[in-house]
Structure 1
């Protein structure tokens, strides 16, 4: 049975593929990552991860580069369409290469271990910790704001609260996948409620005739390069459209539920974002937008009177759920990298009773906390975006390469060829044009990426390491096993010991 449309084709996936559908089995008492994520959980994971800090911070970042309301709204709409195209491409990747790990797994299959290791390398050093730090910092700024209504929130308080958020959610993810998903679902409902209130208040404000902010909407100071940088902020707000691919091994019926989750979640998020920005621009002036990146606070102070405190509370709830989603998927990325031998073996270990990747969760929490040494959110966004979109482009290029090299590879979901081509061109636009405006970020990103090459050959490719190295590594691994009560995913365990 199949269902076809102009954009997507669903076919039964009954062929044999080179990458294993389930990396670990639940037969014979083996420790496994179980398929517990339903369609509703998947939609909540996408929406909950996307609607995090971005919609409450990025409007200022987009407007800062364009100085135009009309162009800003176009950037937001195009960011949604672009993310939809990317999500559809990743739906094909996620079901033809049915392994957790996202970009890392796809680049590995298409181009081999070294490019995949470099993707993992930049994820560890740049992409993941930076993203988690940004969302956690946004949570902390909004959560602390009610206690400092008439002054700026102390920087040290924001950083400490962000660290507490990261540590608490990491602990919950270590305890239970089910609890992590419940948090995702509950806080997704809370954030949609908050945005609905903002959109409704903005609509009422416009219906009362307050449209002066939209005069000369397309007047501004922007260029192709500045629009590309503005898109970094817009696309940061959509970040998470590919996160369900990191947990395909835990998704029930992925052939059906992965594209369904995308079709439900992405249009919902795009409409919410565009309407929310219209509401912001209707109420907040240009000077206020540029002076205070926490635009939702300014909006709430203007529109909700004595209930102004409700906005930062709702935003804090929203970003709390966003941090949870990013931590959840980051741990799965490091687990997959370890299974391929690109990270220490202990990162592939999972708790013998809770079935959660505890070492990976602890590691991703530590690296995110390290990024809290700075609190400039827009610098962090621009710092990691160019490298991020380069890695996304590599994944989609890998998809096209696999279509050429392995045309008979089973593809339960197959998108129209024009989508990955258009998406790849747009990615190259995002990567190349900002070089002229921020060459230092480009240079830093290239150097960090290339620095992974010697580590690959020394730590991964070099097989005949000295015995002393293996002895020390083994002692550390056994100590971590004893302390965290974790074991290798491929190690048989008696059912009575589970």
Structure 2
């Protein structure tokens, strides 16, 4: 089905190939663009809409909730340090796909691409963009819930806009990412300043929350599994810390800029997240927060009054930025997997006009739209954290594996060995903890989906069983879309 050797046999005309010595993705992401991509993707709807999950997992404890937010930031930071070593030594886009392929071989890499391309990326993008649709359509349906058709149509419109932008210009996509990231941090700054002012004025709610942050009655009865589920909620808001690793080939001077971008983004976002949560507690009681569908919006109308509309607008811009960043990086995974013959050849081709992974972007767009069709995404999203941390943990364990199997591999950045050891233990906890007290059938479905992957690999990749007419379809799509295979094998 996806024979690797045939990828090079389908090529574009000589005049196209002569545009540059090697036809490959252009390095157009600067350090500022990298910081904007990581921070902008991390700051999605989570911090504005649903700190409720962490607070609920903390039994309403203000202090424990803040500790968990800081802990999630620490987990993401330690994981990103491990990815700094992987990204600076393995100069290939695709994130975990490239790392698992180097660490454990083709079957592990295929399993990740199979799971991520079909399940986690598509469902995650769809669930995020539907938040935008709800808030955008809701502005025109005051007092009632907007129709699902309107919500989904508005979601698809912004999705298609982001798709076209990523298709036409990686540079323009990066600039939009920087603009949206700036807007998000302005919105968070408004929340932080507003909360600090209320505390300085002696707001009774805020002082009571902070003075009784660790009440014993709130802390009692919190279980092993409950903390794990609360961490799932918090870590969802940090998702995106690894996104720059997906487009390593498009980063200028990745050996320098990849570690720097990660080192700047993670502490910045973690600090803002903690300050924003303190600001929420400066204005709202835990009961009010738990009853709110969108904490930032409740906070906005309480503090800003008639100017509270700023918060719904901020949520919309935040979601657009997060989906845009995920879209920018997620489209590279099918592209990289197809280059190794793990997905159809057509997905391994780039636009000869725009030097972007055009077919992969189209594939990601179609898949996201398909996931927009159902009325409920919870069945996929509940298994999201289990799935991604299974692969995060495997990739991070590979840091130790590569130290043993490839001791002489160049490592511009070398993480202290204790950090990947700690992260493997944390990943195991995040995978196992939710299964102990309250096992979810949805996680079983995700596990079955992952276990199917080796059989698909054996049939489609190892045995090279082709779908009838696939080669002809590839040629037709190549001519229609004006795409060609890249010279990725010539990269240093």
Normalised to the residue count of structure 2, the TM-score between the two structures is 0.90
- 1:59 aligned residue: 51
Instruction: State the shift of 1:314 in Å.
Output: 1.6
Assess if the C-alpha contact under 8 Å between 1:232 and 1:382 holds in 2: no
- 1:36 aligned residue: 28
1:145-202 deviation line (CA, Å, top 9, x unaligned): 4334434444443333222222210111111111111110111111111111011111
Runs of 4+ aligned structure 1 residues displaced above 4 Å come to: 25-28, 374-380
Tell me whether 390-399 or 292-301 shows the greater mean CA deviation.
292-301
Tell me whether 219-228 or 250-259 shows the greater mean CA deviation.
219-228
Unaligned runs of 5+ in 1: 1-24, 493-498
CA pair 440-111 structure 1, distance change in 2 beyond 3 A = same
Do structure 1's residue 216 and structure 2's residue 223 form an aligned pair? Answer: no
Q: Distance in 2 between matches of 1:444 and 1:176?
A: 38
- 1:322 aligned residue: 322
Assess if the C-alpha contact under 8 Å between 1:233 and 1:381 holds in 2: no
1:449-497 deviation line (CA, Å, top 9, x unaligned): 112222111111113x46xx4x6111111121122111111499xxxxx
Q: In the TM superposition, what are the counterparts of 1:75-224 in structure 2 within 5 Å? A: 75-210=68-203, 211-218=207-214, 219-220=218-219, 222-224=222-224
Report the 3-state secondary structure (helix = DSSP H, G, I; strand = E; otherwise coil) of the residue aligned with 2:484. strand
1:86-135 deviation line (CA, Å, top 9, x unaligned): 11100000011110010011111110111111111110122211221222
Assess if the C-alpha contact under 8 Å between 1:393 and 1:424 holds in 2: yes
- 1:16 aligned residue: none
Assess if the C-alpha contact under 8 Å between 2:156 and 2:369 holds in 1: yes
Assess if the C-alpha contact under 8 Å between 2:119 and 2:380 holds in 1: no
Assess if the C-alpha contact under 8 Å between 2:57 and 2:226 holds in 1: yes
Instruction: State the shift of 1:286 in Å.
Output: 2.9
Instruction: State the shift of 1:232 in Å.
Output: 0.8
Instruction: State the shift of 1:74 in Å.
Output: 0.8
Report the 3-state secondary structure (helix = DSSP H, G, I; strand = E; otherwise coil) of the residue aligned with 2:81. helix
Do structure 1's residue 488 and structure 2's residue 481 form an aligned pair? Answer: no
- 2:357 aligned residue: 357
Report the 3-state secondary structure (helix = DSSP H, G, I; strand = E; otherwise coil) of the residue aligned with 1:126. helix
Report the 3-state secondary structure (helix = DSSP H, G, I; strand = E; otherwise coil) of the residue aligned with 1:241. coil
Tell me whether 149-158 or 205-214 shows the greater mean CA deviation.
149-158
Assess if the C-alpha contact under 8 Å between 2:50 and 2:294 holds in 1: no
Q: Distance in 1 between matches of 2:488 and 2:128?
A: 36
- 1:442 aligned residue: 443
CA pair 224-153 structure 1, distance change in 2 beyond 3 A = farther
Assess if the C-alpha contact under 8 Å between 2:115 and 2:449 holds in 1: yes
Assess if the C-alpha contact under 8 Å between 2:382 and 2:443 holds in 1: no
Unaligned runs of 5+ in 2: 1-16
- 2:454 aligned residue: 453
- 2:42 aligned residue: 50
Normalised to the residue count of structure 1, the TM-score between the two structures is 0.89
- 2:428 aligned residue: 428
Instruction: State the superposition RMSD in angstroms.
Output: 2.0
Tell me whether 132-141 or 253-262 shows the greater mean CA deviation.
132-141
The number of aligned residues is 464
